[in-house]
Amino acid sequence: MNRKTRTRFAPSPTGPLHMGGVRTALYAYLFAKQKGGDFLLRIEDTDQTRFVPGAEEYIIESLNWSGIKIDEGVSVGGKFAPYRQSERKEMYRKYAEQLTASGHAYYAFDTSAELDAIRKQAEAAKGAFSYDSTSRMKLNNSLTISKEETEKKIASGDHYVIRLKVPENTEVKFTDIIRGEVSFNSSLVDDKVLLKSDGMPTYHLAHIVDDYLMEITHAIRGEEWLPSAPAHILIYKFLGWEDLMPQYAHLPLLLKPDGNGKLSKRDGDKLGFPVFPLEWKDPKTGEISSGYREKGYYPEAFVNMLAFLGWNPGTEQEVFTMDDLIQKFSFAHVHKAGARFDPEKTKWFNEQWLHRQPETELASRLKSSLKDQFQFADNDRRVSESFLTKCVQLLKVRTQFENEFIEKGKYLFLAPTQYDEQAIQKKWKPELTIFFQNVSGVFAGMSSFTAPEIEITFKETAAANNLKPGDVIQLFRVFLSGQSAGVDLFPMAELLGKEEVVARINAALNHVK
Ligand code: GLU
């Protein structure tokens, strides 16, 4: 059967979405779009104890900001609505009951206190308890009591869960898109709870029922689900849905920058970079975690970086638009090993995307920031389009973030009030006063003040004073900008204009005297 490709992103609203989650969504989106298919957003909120207010909105906003468009699902609707599992609660029971009726699942009445006690006993004996084929016949469930007793218990309102009856010692195999054939012995799999005592399904049952009903063809998820995959394969088989089972792809873990261990939600600001797409304020503690958006990353850079965390195009190309990614993405180039996160490379991606921003747009955003920060008047030359476009050209090759323009290039807009004294001390000699007075005089007389003309004039004046450019050029930079490093010197002088350059040299001479 030729089915339309349908992928889904199925996060649980338990807090802010980790960047690893965005990567999962991204790969699912890229794959669906490449195949002309649909990308769905399903919210898996069956664990009500872990529900965090605002998390769902955060997930949707993160996808929107990243440019991952939802074709169907929470926030946009669709023909398989509702897409929030809590609102689908009533749909799952019948499948759990179908499994018990066919002997592939059973009712378990053990209370959590009873199970805890058994677990503790096992620990005391240096063992581990698992509810499975080795223990189920000694526990309180419909396999160990009669049918009548089971019915009586249920009718009298006893709490129960429905558990999957995992067969003993059989091989469970499936083909993972990334890992190829994967095989597990069923004895490693416990009798997973399918339906909880509150009537809610667990993830194990709910995602299968939903993937089936929503006609999902590829289930793309994190590696942490690989150990549960055999249970999932068995559920598909027992429900008779094997033919329609989506193909699973288990994505590699994201690792910390040093490669030691998983990049966790808690690593974030501790290691000096965000792990969340957007800033998040914890609704309980008020604690703020930083986000890529607020740090000044472009969504294109964030997505570009995420795409490369686990995938590569097999060529040298590194900068990809979303459309390029849709074209080039392939699971054949997704590796199995964990992907090490590199914060410096992430900045590099932002720099590449900064270079690709249209200059007029950069200039117009810079204009509003400048007006906010310095209250420049509308007719001030420093907020004119031509001045700002030149500023942007000079600054963008020296910065990684657009939001650093003003901080790094403040001297383009305001004369320095402080100077790098160390840089001055290194080169300054009182005799140089004459030279700088000379330069400022010659500059004042120039009828055209372009970068090449300024450069030639500056160097000729130095030669006439028996100086090498190296003796005075750094001082010239510090006099104009206050700093020893910054944008290209002579183009900066051209941009500042003759009067401003002359005024800044004279002010600096007063300072060094
Ligand atoms: N709700 C699961 C999670 O947040 C989804 C896993 C899946 O995509 O199937 O990890």
d(CA 344, CA 400): 11
d(CA 258, CA 42): 34
Work out which ligand 1 atom sits closest to the CA atom of 11. Answer: 4
Give the tens place of pLDDT for each residue, 123-164.
Answer: 999 999 999 999 999 999 999 999 999 999 999 999 999 999
Which residue among the candidates 165, 265, 367, 390 is catalytic per the annotation? Answer: 265
323 CA to middle of ligand 1, Å?
A: 26
* Per-residue exposure over 189-223, b if at least 16 CB sit within 10 Å of its own CB, e if not: bbbbbbbbeeebbbbbbbbbbbbbebebbbbbbbb
Indicate which residue's Cα is closest to atom 4 of ligand 1: 11
3-state secondary structure of 14: coil
- So what's the pLDDT on residue 267? 85
- Counting residues of the chain whose pLDDT is more than 90, the rounded percentage is 98
Nearest to 109 by CA among 155, 68, 174: 155
d(CA 501, CA 43): 60
Work out which ligand 1 atom sits closest to the CA atom of 44. Answer: 1
28 CA to middle of ligand 1, Å?
A: 12
Question: How many other C-beta atoms are found inside a 10 Å radius of the C-beta of residue 180?
Answer: 8
Give the tens place of pLDDT for each residue, 202-214.
Answer: 999 999 999 999 9
Indicate which residue's Cα is closest to atom 5 of ligand 1: 10
- So what's the pLDDT on residue 299? 98
Indicate which residue's Cα is closest to atom 3 of ligand 1: 11
11 CA to middle of ligand 1, Å?
A: 5
Catalytic, 265? Answer: yes
Collect all residues with Cβ–Cβ distance below 8 Å to 39 and sequence separation of at least 6: 6, 7, 8, 9, 28, 29, 32, 33, 68, 69, 70, 71, 72
266 CA to middle of ligand 1, Å?
A: 19
Indicate which residue's Cα is closest to atom 10 of ligand 1: 11
- Per CATH, is 87-206 categorized as 3.40.50.300? no
For the stretch 92-98, contacts whose Cβ atoms lie closer than 8 Å and that sit 24 or more positions apart, written own/partner, are 92/195, 92/200, 92/201, 92/205, 92/206, 92/209, 93/195, 93/199, 93/201, 95/205, 95/209, 95/239, 96/162, 96/194, 96/195, 96/201, 96/205, 97/162, 98/239
CATH architecture designation of domain 421-512: Orthogonal Bundle (1.10)
Please report, for the chain, the start and end positions of each structural domain, with discontinuous segments joined by +: 87-206, 265-354, 357-409, 421-512
* Best residue for ligand 1 mutational test, from 225, 233, 250, 253 (most atoms within 8 Å of Cβ): 225
- So what's the pLDDT on residue 270? 86
Average pLDDT in the chain: 97
Residue 311 scores a pLDDT above 90: yes
340 CA to middle of ligand 1, Å?
A: 22
249 residue type, one letter: A
Percentages (nearest 5) of helix, strand, coil residues in the chain? 50, 10, 40
Q: What does the pLDDT average to over 242-253?
A: 97
Work out which ligand 1 atom sits closest to the CA atom of 24. Answer: 8
Output the six-digit token pair for 464.
Answer: 């006439």
- Counting residues of the chain whose pLDDT is more than 70, the rounded percentage is 100
How deeply is 380 buried, as exposed, middle or buried, from its count of CB atoms within 10 A (0-12, 13-18, 19+)?
Answer: middle
Work out which ligand 1 atom sits closest to the CA atom of 207. Answer: 9
Give the tens place of pLDDT for each residue, 177-192.
Answer: 999 999 999 999 999 9
* Best residue for ligand 1 mutational test, from 44, 212, 236 (most atoms within 8 Å of Cβ): 44
Ligand 1 binding pocket, CB closer than 6 Å? 10-12, 44, 203, 207, 219, 221, 225
360 residue type, one letter: T
21 CA to middle of ligand 1, Å?
A: 9
Grade residue 1 by pLDDT with cuts at 50, 70 and 90: low
Work out which ligand 1 atom sits closest to the CA atom of 224. Answer: 10
3-state secondary structure of 88: helix
* Best residue for ligand 1 mutational test, from 42, 205, 207 (most atoms within 8 Å of Cβ): 207
**Token pair 């996808």 is at which residue?**
63
* Best residue for ligand 1 mutational test, from 84, 221, 226 (most atoms within 8 Å of Cβ): 221
Residue 305 CA: distances (Å) to CA of 20, 29, 45, 328: 11, 16, 29, 15
221 CA to middle of ligand 1, Å?
A: 6
Q: What does the pLDDT average to over 261-276?
A: 90
Give the tens place of pLDDT for each residue, 336-394.
Answer: 999 999 999 999 999 999 999 999 999 999 999 999 999 999 999 999 999 999 999 99
Q: What is the pTM of this model?
A: 0.94
- Per CATH, is 265-354 categorized as 3.50.50.60? no
- Per CATH, is 357-409 categorized as 1.10.8? yes
43 CA to middle of ligand 1, Å?
A: 9
